[in-house]
Amino acid sequence: MTEFFAVYGSLINFAGINALLALSLYVPLSAGQLSLGNAAFAGIGAYASAILTMRFHLPFPLAIAAGACLSAGVAAAIGAPVLRIRGIFLAMATLAFGEVVRIAAVNLAITGGAEGLIGIPTRTTTLIIYGSLAASAYFLVVLRGSRIGWSFAAIREDETAAMVMGVHTARYKNISFISGAFLAGIAGALYAHLNFLITPGEFGFAAEVQLLMFNIVGGTRSVFGPILGAFLLTALPEVLRGVGVTAGPLRLGVNGVILLLVILYLPNGMTSLFPQKARV
């Protein structure tokens, strides 16, 4: 077991962080909001926590909490105007926000510019990652069965009908947006203190597409769907390397084939393969 973790420890850790990021996108998707800004919220959490630990010597737990709260605060600030639009226009607006965050990180001195921040204390452990993932998954399972969770589902299925039935759609859309940003901030902060360095490019458009793929492949009708998708697609490059596929374009092609097959034959993601009672 020690040998296995020595070889695959980094993969296990990154899979856990990716799963937490996938859950951060699952929350707004569960309320029918196609947000493409969660990678940017992860970047805000990562940079904020790293700066607090490197320059202000804030204790690690407080830095993580501060990064997550800052991400949630930014989401609250932009949520009211942005969430008035829907569908592809919401996706474009949140994607534009992500680009603003990335460009700001490239040009600000405090973030290290294009080179990023180097020398971040490595405080994140496997136990912290999977403890955070388990706590987040449990919270979302409980939330799913609550009034808030049912309101999310009603908005996702038909926002107009939900409004007619008395659901305060604006409030619940904001809750889903802010909650997703908070989880993304935690994941970003954990990533920063695991990886020693962070750069603006790690939280750009490609990262957001990857988060969306985790949710599509795993399925968004279950809390554990995004987790399943994240683990599968994070481990896939190692599996392909084991069978001799090392070229980057080939791996991206395999990801595309998997995504296409899931869309065609498993519209609700890989969780469709499990019995209904096993889905949460």
pLDDT in tens, 189-215: 999 999 889 999 999 999 999 999 999
- Residues 39, 24: contact at Cβ < 8 Å? no
- Residues 18, 195: contact at Cβ < 8 Å? no
The pLDDT score that the predictor gives to residue 125 is 95
pLDDT in tens, 126-137: 999 999 999 999
Residue whose C-alpha is closest to residue 202's, from 136, 114, 76:
114
pLDDT in tens, 73-122: 999 999 888 888 888 899 999 999 999 999 999 999 999 999 999 999 99
Strand partners, 198: 117
Give the residue-averaged pLDDT of 226-254: 77
Distance CA 80, CA 234 (A): 34
Query: Is the whole model's pTM more than 0.95, yes or no?
Result: no
253 pLDDT higher than 80: no
For 26-58, give one letter per residue: b (16+ CB within 10 A) or e.
Answer: bbbbbbbbbbbbbbbbbbbbbbbbbbbbbeeeb
Distance CA 271, CA 133 (A): 18
| DSSP notation for 37-51 | -HHHHHHHHHHHHHH
Read off φ and ψ for residue 61, nearest 5 degrees.
Answer: -60, -40
Give the list of residues 6+ apart from residue 257 with CB closer than 8 angstroms, or none. none
